[in-house]
Amino acid sequence: MRRIVFLLIFLFLCPIDYCYSDMDLTSELSRTASDNYSIKVLLYHNISAVETDQNNPYVVSLAKFEEQMNWLKVNGYECVTVSDMFQKFVSGELIGKIAVITFDDGYPDVYTYAFPILSAFGFPATTYLVAEKIDSPKNLTEDMIRDLYKAGWEIGSHSLTHSDLMIHENLDTEICGSRNMIAAMTGIPLSDVVSFAYPYGNADETVTTKVWKCGYQSGAGLGQIPVSSSQNPYYFSRHPVTSDMTIQDFSSLFISEGEK
Ligand SMILES: [Zn+2]
């Protein structure tokens, strides 16, 4: 009885940001199965139909994008969404070659140019939206987002305003609020908005813990290494695909990592 009283007092006094998050986050991180399997996650921003400005690394030409997707197809890759990737780590359904395609910032050229190509290849993708930009000029509209979702794409959050979360301001609205806003605006079930991408790839333990507490299942960052069960799902690596990459550069992302 005394132990129960002590436990209740401890839980009552325990600061929520410290005790509950760390205990539960540890168990959350251990959910991934111990497989020796890794998956390359690609990060795109804009896809352009006109020949791209080589000075802007984040605008990949439509021709190059199609060539890259064709390379994945010809080389036997299956593409899955981010949440499907983590589900596969949990279930152990890691068969064959798997790649993940993601887009940040919610640009409409993703809908106009990338979506038809990916649909033709049968590849879904994950797109991370800046919630307050939805429906604003030069951004995806609610209707476009719903179309992507209906086609099997995953819709994730890239914060509310795209601010640097490392300054720890408005984390509730940036992380929890953006999730709620995306679901409310698009009609996508909240239970399907479970993936978050850190603006600028910046996150620390306070930020990653908040992402977990807001109901997300993963947090996307930046990095070269492929995702495996040993990586923290609340900060996993994505490799930016830049405008200057040749198809040889692109293929080496996979081959050099030992994915066969
Ligand atoms: Zn961004």
pLDDT digits (tens, 9 = 90+) for 32-55: 444 578 899 999 999 998 866 667
CA of 158 relative to ligand 1 center, distance in Å: 7
In a domain, 2, yes or no: no
Token pair for residue 111? 């809908």
CA of 230 relative to ligand 1 center, distance in Å: 25
Q: What pLDDT sits at residue 54? A: 65
CA of 105 relative to ligand 1 center, distance in Å: 5
At 67, phi and psi to the nearest 5?
-60, -40
In a domain, 27, yes or no: no
Token pair for residue 71? 């390379």
In a domain, 59, yes or no: yes
CA of 180 relative to ligand 1 center, distance in Å: 19
Do the beta carbons of residue 120 and residue 103 sit within 8 Å?
no
CA of 108 relative to ligand 1 center, distance in Å: 14
Instruction: Give 51-85 pLDDT, tens digit per residue.
Output: 666 678 899 999 999 999 999 999 999 999 999 99
In a domain, 19, yes or no: no
In a domain, 21, yes or no: no
CA of 144 relative to ligand 1 center, distance in Å: 19
CA of 156 relative to ligand 1 center, distance in Å: 12
C-alpha gyration radius of the chain: 19
CA pair distance 254, 176, nearest whole angstrom? 34
Burial (0-12, 13-18, 19+ Cβ within 10 Å), 28: middle
- Provide mean pLDDT across the span 11-32: 39
Termini Cα distance of the chain: 58
CATH of the domain at 81: 3.20.20.370
CA of 238 relative to ligand 1 center, distance in Å: 12
CA pair distance 169, 191, nearest whole angstrom? 25
CA pair distance 47, 108, nearest whole angstrom? 9
- Provide mean pLDDT across the span 232-251: 95
Instruction: Give 84-131 pLDDT, tens digit per residue.
Output: 999 998 888 888 899 999 999 999 999 999 999 999 999 999 999 999
Q: What pLDDT sits at residue 123? A: 98
Q: Comparing C-alpha atoms, which of 103, 82, 71, 74 is closest to residue 40?
A: 82
DSSP-derived secondary structure for 162-185: ---GGG--SHIIIIIIHHHHHHHH
Instruction: Give 190-200 pLDDT, tens digit per residue.
Output: 999 999 999 99
CA of 219 relative to ligand 1 center, distance in Å: 13
How many CB atoms within 10 Å of residue 122? 10
CA of 162 relative to ligand 1 center, distance in Å: 6
Q: Which domain holds residue 117?
A: 35-255
CA of 25 relative to ligand 1 center, distance in Å: 25
CA pair distance 97, 161, nearest whole angstrom? 35
CA of 103 relative to ligand 1 center, distance in Å: 9
Q: What pLDDT sits at residue 52? A: 60
CA of 104 relative to ligand 1 center, distance in Å: 5
In a domain, 148, yes or no: yes
Q: How many domains does the chain have?
A: 1
Which letter, b or e, does each residue of 148-172 get, where b requires 16 or more Cβ atoms within 10 Å of its Cβ? bbeeebbbbbbbbebeebeeeeebe
Please indicate whether residue 179 or residue 232 has the higher confidence score (pLDDT): 179
Strands 38-44 and 239-240: parallel
CA of 43 relative to ligand 1 center, distance in Å: 10
In a domain, 229, yes or no: yes
In a domain, 12, yes or no: no
